[in-house]
Every structure is written in structure tokens, then in C-alpha cells.
Structure 1
Amino acid sequence: MTWGRYLVCLDIARPIVVVDFETTGLDHRRHQIIELAAIRLLPGQARGAYLHRLVRPARKLSARIVELTGITDRELASHGVDAPAALQALVDFIGNDPVVSYNAAFDMSFLHAASTAYSLSVAKRGGHSCALRLVRKVIPGLPSYRLAEVSRRLGLSLDNHHRAVGDALRAAQIYRICAHAYLSERAHYRPGIVGVSPAGGGL
């Protein structure tokens, strides 16, 4: 594995956009985005602007997705926008900034599938980073690397779990904590050892 491919955003002196998607399932070839969020992290600030969209899918949601996310067909019909408009807003928001997501393999597959389907141009100059891979590097040996479990370990709020804004915020906090730990120590992170408190980071 080439770590540089996944740690392109470790220059925390530049803006970074953290994204998260809620979807109708796990397969980008068969399922669709139903909610997206993007948070811009700015150097020296807690965070900058954010983007949030509910997205109307082509099919009704399964009972499992409604239970998991709390998102309903009625909510999407009332407050959602068409997928091309939502994805164009996201692409415009990202611009040329680097992108971080908690599970880049998952989120980027949906982003690129949607971009292909709707003929959108996804800027690649900023690159992307995977917070999950960074966590595995900085905190090895955890029994689970699910977003909720890592958040609990670091003392982060679990409010709005499985919603795009809440999960994007947690991913941003985790990435900032682990990036500071990786850059300052280049060693295994243990809360209280690295000079960033587990629930710190200012987000």
C-alpha cells in the first residue's frame, strides 16, 4: 500500500472538504445516494461552510434503510432535490480542494458513479484521503473500525448517527485528531499521549 495515496490531505494548513453519503444500499452499481453532506475544514478555524442535500431516489426506500437512517420517502418527496442538482452542488462546493471521507472506497464509488450517470465533472486535482485508513495506521489493533466505534473511543458525540451531516462531522473530527497525531508523533496514537485531546479538534 502506498500511504501517500490516502494521506494527500495531511497538509492541515490548507482547506479540506469532508464528505459523507447516505445511500439506498452498499452497491454503487445498483443503489443511489439519498443524502449528502460536505464540510469544509479551514486552517486555524473549527470549520467553514457546509453543504447538505436530501436526494430523491428513483425507487422507494427499503424498511431497513428507513430504520437505519430515519429518512423516509415522505421526507425525500417533500424536501429532497433531484440527484443531478444535488451532485452538481456538491461538485461545485468541493472545487479543487482535497476530499476526505471516512470510507473513501465506499463514498468515492458512489460519487464517481453518480458523476458518470449525470455527466458531471469531478475535480481530481485536490486528491482524496480515507479517514478509515488513517485511523488503522494511527490506532492499530482496534476490535472494530466502524465510524461509531471509533467515535466512542475518541469521546465524540454520536448525535445524528447514520445521517450525512452527523457522520461527516464525526469523520472530520476523527481525521483532524489522527492527522495531528500522525504528523506530530509518527507513532501509535493513545489518548492522552499525543498533544490533541481525544474529543478535541475544535469541531
Structure 2
Amino acid sequence: MSSKVVGFLLGAAFAALTLFLIYKLLAWICGRLATAARWIWRLGRRPAATADPNGGYVVFDLETTGLSAADHEIIEIAGLKISPKGEIVESFQSLVIPEGRISPAITKLTGIDQMMIAQDGVPLGEAMSRFRSFAGDLPLVAFNAPFDKGFLHHACFRMGMPVFGNSFHCALETSRRAWPGRPSYKLSALAEEAGLDLANEHRALADCQRTAYLMFAALNKLGTSFR
């Protein structure tokens, strides 16, 4: 085969590869734009929350398969309804069936394994609907609210549900304002300093109980309500 033919074939192959890569890039960009458009649409149709913060609030926590809402999944949702006096009036807890498998590292961290999910887990859509009914329009409090809110809203998007219109409040930021200068603001560190039981750490309901105590104490320390 002559060098000209070889050169022609190599050039054609390179051109074909270039066109393929351009096609894949354009498809990825279009996919991202479509995703952004759907997010904007869903944000526009979320229900308005009109609940009075003085009527209580819901502390919630999620356990997940990782740190990225786009790449990982919720495996447990829990919540506590808290009265204006700081009393627990109702609880909610649900294991969630993920599409992928739970890694050994997450099982070690949370204690949640595939067998537990198989026995007690429910589909994500069912868990989300039940939690939405539980929370109603009450303000939602999470220890690291941006993290949990991101997972919650990404799950709404996946299930074709409106995102939560509730107000969100961060117990971590409230704790920083209430007790400045602490060496650590991890939930476990603050809970231990407050003398709280650390059993079942990284299980959603137990973390809700610790967060509820800290949030109520921090609000009392600041002499304020949600803002």
C-alpha cells in the first residue's frame, strides 16, 4: 500500500474521530442545557410555603451513598416534628432503595447494608412522597442544610416532583453564630460537648435527634427564631 493511501486513510480516520468527539461534546452540552431548563421549570412551579415558623419546624437528615447529589443517592430519610417549645411531637424514618449498590465504606459509616435495604427499603418516589406529607409546609432544618437540600431537590427532579417550597435553615450556621470560636463544628463534636448520646451516629433519625437539640439550644442562646 502506498504512502499516499496510508496518509489518506489516517487523515480520514482522524477526521472521523474529530467529528465523533465534536458530536459527543455537543450532545453533552445539549443534555446539560436541557437539564438546566427542566430545573428552572420545576423551581418555577414549586408550591409556596406559608407556614408560620412559630408553629414549629421539621428537623430532617439524609444518609446517602456519597457526597455528590448528581452522582450519588439517598438511602435513608428521617425527620422530627419539633414544637415551638422544642419537644418532639412526631417522627418519620424510611430506608430508600438505591439504583446502585451500597459501598462497603458507606455501610461501615452508616451501618446500612444491602440486606437492610432489601428487607425494609422503599422506592425513592414513595419515600419522598411520604416525607413531603410528613413535613407539610413547616420550615425544614438540617445540620448542613445546603448538602441535604441539594440531595432532596435532586431527588425531586429525578422523580418528576416539584421541589420543596419550604424554607430551609442550617443548624450548622446557627451553631456557629451561637457558639463562636469552637475548635470543631462537626455534629458529633457539638453533640459530645453538649453531653448527648452518640450511639447510632450517621443514622438519619439519631442525627435528627442531635440536630434538634442543638438547633433549639442555639436559637435560645441567640434569643431568636428562624431568619
| TM-score bin (small chain) | 0.7 to 0.9
**Superposition deviation, residue 12 in structure 1:** 6.5
Distance 2:191 2:107 in 1: 23
Match of 2:54 in 1: 13
Q: Residue 109 of structure 1 is aligned with which of 150, 162, 166? A: 150
TM-score normalized with structure 2 length? 0.73
**Superposition deviation, residue 47 in structure 1:** 1.0
* Segments of 4+ moved more than 6 angstroms: none
**Superposition deviation, residue 93 in structure 1:** 1.1
Identity %: 35
Q: Deviations over 1:68-110 (max 9, x none)?
A: 0111101101110001100111111111100000000100000
Aligned residue for 1:31, secondary structure, equals coil
Counterpart residue type for residue 167 of structure 2: G
Which blocks of at least 5 consecutive residues in structure 1 are unaligned? 1-10, 185-203
Distance 1:44 1:107 in 2: 25
User: Does the Cα contact within 8 Å between 2:53 and 2:139 map onto a contact in 1?
Assistant: no
Q: Deviations over 1:114-156 (max 9, x none)?
A: 01110222442x4110000001111111121110001011111
Q: CA RMSD in A?
A: 1.4
Match of 2:115 in 1: 74
Q: Which structure shows the bigger proportion of residues in helix conformation?
A: 2
Following superposition of structure 1 onto structure 2, how do residues 114-153 of structure 1 map, counting pairs within 5 Å?
A: 114-124=155-165, 126-153=166-193
- Larger radius of gyration between Structure 1 and Structure 2: 2
TM-score normalized with structure 1 length? 0.82
Distance 1:81 1:17 in 2: 21
Aligned residue pairs, count: 173
Match of 1:196 in 2: none
Which blocks of at least 5 consecutive residues in structure 2 are unaligned? 1-51
Match of 1:49 in 2: 90
Distance 1:12 1:117 in 2: 29
Following superposition of structure 1 onto structure 2, how do residues 146-165 of structure 1 map, counting pairs within 5 Å?
A: 146-165=186-205
Match of 1:178 in 2: 218
Aligned residue for 1:35, secondary structure, equals strand
